[in-house]
């Protein structure tokens, strides 16, 4: 679980506690629904390989994608403290997930205040990403929404070593990107063409290259504070 281990040196016991959450990995296939919205909250999981997304089905038959999960992310923490799921979760491509239970999570929290603090920080950051999504969906034009989305993915993937020469694999369909950004698939295609013509982004099927990442960030006045994983010095006092 890369995110929880990034914030500082872990003790041997803390490393063991983290590993215990990943003892039962299983394969998951593209399109597999890990859980439906409003289902009972019984498990959480770590994404070991592949991408996933959380979503809400809307009354008009459309879908809103809320968050894209990458390898190392924890899925389901927003449901902690609720009896039923706030959103559904499905796999974007084939991958590996490691489910874990409330009991395992409670054990980790009870035995390590430092890891408990990191879990809180993880949940808060997930909420911050949803807040940022709300801001740019409500205020940005289509090309700015897509630019923000791509640059955010670029930063997140860069942190897990999945970017090479400013390029990365993005297994999202145009429809899925549209469901995340409130755009039609046709509009997504046109917007990619616009960013290409501006010399900012090139997409070849599932491979995306940011030709000028800094210019893309400037286009949307991107502020990465909400995905900055540097913890306050107060968190380090737990050790």
Contacts of residues 213-222 at CB distance under 8 Å and 24 or more positions apart, as own/partner, are 213/151, 213/154, 213/166, 216/147, 216/150, 216/151, 217/151, 219/143, 219/144, 219/147, 220/136, 220/140, 220/144, 220/147, 220/148, 220/151, 222/148, 222/151, 222/152
pTM for this prediction: 0.89
Kind and range of the H or E run holding 47: strand 43-49
Q: Show me where the domains of the chain are located.
A: 2-134, 142-219
Contact 196, 151 (CB under 8 A): no
Q: What does the pLDDT average to over 87-101?
A: 96
Residue 131 confidence class, pLDDT cut points 50, 70, 90? confident
pLDDT at 204 over 90: yes
Do the first three CATH levels of 2-134 and 142-219 match, i.e. the same topology?
no
Q: What does the pLDDT average to over 94-117?
A: 89
- Dihedral sign, CA of 90, 95, 150, 185? negative
CATH number of 142-219: 1.10.10.10
| Dihedral Cα 189, 224, 210, 56, nearest 10 deg | -30
Per-residue pLDDT tens for 31-82? 999 999 999 999 999 999 999 999 999 888 889 999 999 999 999 988 888 9
pLDDT at 237 over 70: no
Residue 133 confidence class, pLDDT cut points 50, 70, 90? confident
Residue 7 confidence class, pLDDT cut points 50, 70, 90? very low
pLDDT reported for residue 120: 81
Per-residue pLDDT tens for 215-231? 999 999 998 888 876 66
pLDDT reported for residue 117: 82
Domain boundaries 2-134, CATH class:
mainly beta
Comparing 121 with 97, the larger pLDDT belongs to: 97
Residue 99 confidence class, pLDDT cut points 50, 70, 90? very high
Residue 173 vs residues 6, 30, 219: alpha-carbon distances, Å: 31, 12, 24
Measured between its terminal Cα atoms, the distance across the chain in Å is 19
pLDDT reported for residue 5: 52
């Amino acid at each position: 679980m890369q995110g929880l281990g990034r914030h500082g040196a872990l003790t041997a016991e803390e490393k063991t506690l983290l590993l215990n959450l990943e003892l039962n990995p299983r394969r998951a296939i593209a399109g597999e629904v890990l859980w439906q919205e409003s289902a009972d909250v019984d498990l959480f999981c770590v994404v070991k390989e592949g991408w996933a997304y959380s979503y809400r089905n809307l009354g008009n038959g459309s879908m809103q994608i809320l968050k894209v999960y990458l390898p190392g992310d924890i899925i389901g923490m927003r449901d902690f403290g609720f009896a039923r799921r706030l959103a559904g979760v499905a796999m974007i491509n084939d991958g590996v997930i490691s489910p874990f239970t409330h009991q395992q999570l409670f054990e980790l929290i009870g035995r390590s205040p430092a890891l408990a603090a990191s879990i809180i920080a993880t949940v808060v950051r997930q909420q911050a990403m949803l807040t940022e999504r709300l801001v740019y969906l409500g205020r940005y034009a289509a090309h700015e929404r897509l630019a923000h989305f791509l640059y955010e993915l670029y930063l997140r993937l860069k942190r897990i070593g999945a970017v090479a020469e400013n390029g990365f694999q993005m297994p999202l369909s145009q429809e899925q990107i549209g469901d995340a950004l409130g755009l039609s698939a046709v509009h997504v295609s046109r917007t990619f063409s616009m960013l290409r013509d501006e010399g900012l982004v090139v997409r070849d099927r599932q491979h995306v290259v940011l030709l000028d990442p800094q210019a893309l960030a400037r286009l949307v006045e991107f502020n990465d504070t909400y995905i900055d994983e540097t913890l306050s010095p107060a968190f380090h006092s737990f050790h």
